[in-house]
Amino acid sequence: MVTRLHEAPSDVFNPWLHIASLIEQAGHLLGLNEGLIKRIVTPERILEVAVPVRMDSGDIEMFTGWRIQHNSSRGPGKGGIRFHPSVNVDEIAALSADMSIKCAVVNIPYGGAKGGVRVDPALLSRGELERLTRRYAFSIAPMIGPDRDIPAPDINTDPQVMSWIMDTVSMLAGHSLPGVVTGKPLAIGGSLGHAGATSFGVTICTMALLKQLNRPALGERVVIQGYGKVGSPLVKLLSERGMKVVGLADIHGAIHVPDGIDYLKLAAHFEDAKSIMGYPGGDEVHADELFSLPSDIAIPAALGGVIDEKVAEKMSASMMVEAANGPTTGEGAAVLTSRNIQVVPDVLANAGGVVASYFEWAQDLQGFMWEMELVQQRLEKTMHDAFDAVWLRHDQLNLPLRDTALVVGVERIAEATELRGLFP
């Protein structure tokens, strides 16, 4: 029986209980013994840190941060760091477990980890953000490193935040450690092709599912929730492949464009307005109506837990590709399955980012930068191989793709765990 990591109302969606129960189910389906399932479910390390920050006013503010290493049987921890007011231990634990599965599904030599600070970075000056980042990095420094745990950007963090973390840990070590984080600028060990890699991976999975379903991409109507680091490139990538993005949402609202959004005009509009709202030719709709708009493909590319039972019941699309982390609740997933809506789950669909991070880490360890063509070629092959492996097991097991991907990931983690044994 999975236990809560902190007290919370029982009627509130708990992402940790959700992912832990899914791992348990996959373990039982594989016939794993209870002891092995417990080892796979239970996080290896949970670090909670106080993050004091001197504000520009001279006052001291206290924030709380976490770094959780879920599983290291297949390699060092890998997972992003997010700065958001809603961050809590259950969310970070769930995301770390999600990373364990994701890295196993795409078959890269990483375990799962995740980190975050409960803060609204929009309320911080650049100086305050840097001081918060460096203090948090100092606090988690004993846990991270190129051979231990390699953070990356996530919600409200970016290459600059990764640069501050790398510099802080390097100062503590006494020498440069470019491999301690990924998602860095090129000037300090970043990789060509890292920006937009998650969106590219989502696109590959979308095209692969359409091929399996014998549906041509041309004219497929897409709705995308989110116009940030993932959603923005997706509008361009999918449009270039003949699809029509007919619905789009950001934090300000949603728009409906039945004839399809022109990604160049949208980018120009967003540059001026800082929002998709007011896009010429777009009808404003309530954000809750986005997935109800007439469409063929739904892509949640924002926060987790948004596809609940009510949204799933009203969803117009016949397939969904999860670009966000954990966007679907258990109840929502059950409804999608009952309605025969094909879903490429997050642990496969949005893994392009962690695959590109793996390539960056490998380049840092080698001290040798790859050409853009090589990065894209290897990313495409890795994502195709992962999709094909999940689809093959999907046919063998006759399970939804979400359950199949979990089985593939848990099976690979279990194999590594058993091969390594139990010390002492």
SS3 82: strand
pTM score over 0.95: no
Cβ atoms of 261 and 229 within 8 Å: the answer is no
CATH number where 142 lies: 3.40.50.10860
Give the pLDDT score at 6.
Answer: 56
Please check the confidence at residue 3 and state whether its pLDDT lies above 90.
Answer: no
CATH number where 223 lies: 3.40.50.720
Please check the confidence at residue 356 and state whether its pLDDT lies above 70.
Answer: yes
Count how many domains the chain has.
Answer: 2
Do 44 and 166 reside in the same domain of the chain? yes
Residue 139 to residue 120: CA distance in whole angstroms? 19
Q: Give the H or E element holding residue 61.
A: strand 60-71
Q: What is the residue range of 242's domain?
A: 197-349
Please check the confidence at residue 349 and state whether its pLDDT lies above 80.
Answer: yes
Residue 351 to residue 353: CA distance in whole angstroms? 5
Give the pLDDT score at 304.
Answer: 82
Do 271 and 169 reside in the same domain of the chain? no
- Domain end residue (candidates: 349, 379, 398): 349
Q: Which of 390, 382, 413, 304 lies closest to 344 in space, CA to CA?
A: 390
Q: Which of 324, 373, 368 lies closest to 350 in space, CA to CA?
A: 324
Q: Give mean pLDDT, residues 14-23.
A: 91
Residue 20, φ and ψ in degrees, nearest 5: -65, -40
Q: Give mean pLDDT, residues 395-408.
A: 95
Burial 334-346 (b: 16+ CB within 10 A, else e): ebbbeeebbbbbb
Report the DSSP beta bridge partners of residue 49. Answer: 65
Q: What is the pLDDT of residues 90-99, one digit of tens each?
A: 999 999 999 9
Q: Which residue is associated with the tokens 């009510």?
A: 310
Do 240 and 119 reside in the same domain of the chain? no
Q: Which residues are catalytic?
A: 114
Confidence of residue 11 (pLDDT cuts 50, 70, 90): low
Do 161 and 124 reside in the same domain of the chain? yes
Q: Give the H or E element holding residue 415.
A: helix 401-420
Q: Give mean pLDDT, residues 374-397.
A: 96
Residue 300 to residue 328: CA distance in whole angstroms? 9
Give the pLDDT score at 10.
Answer: 60
Do 221 and 116 reside in the same domain of the chain? no
Do 146 and 254 reside in the same domain of the chain? no
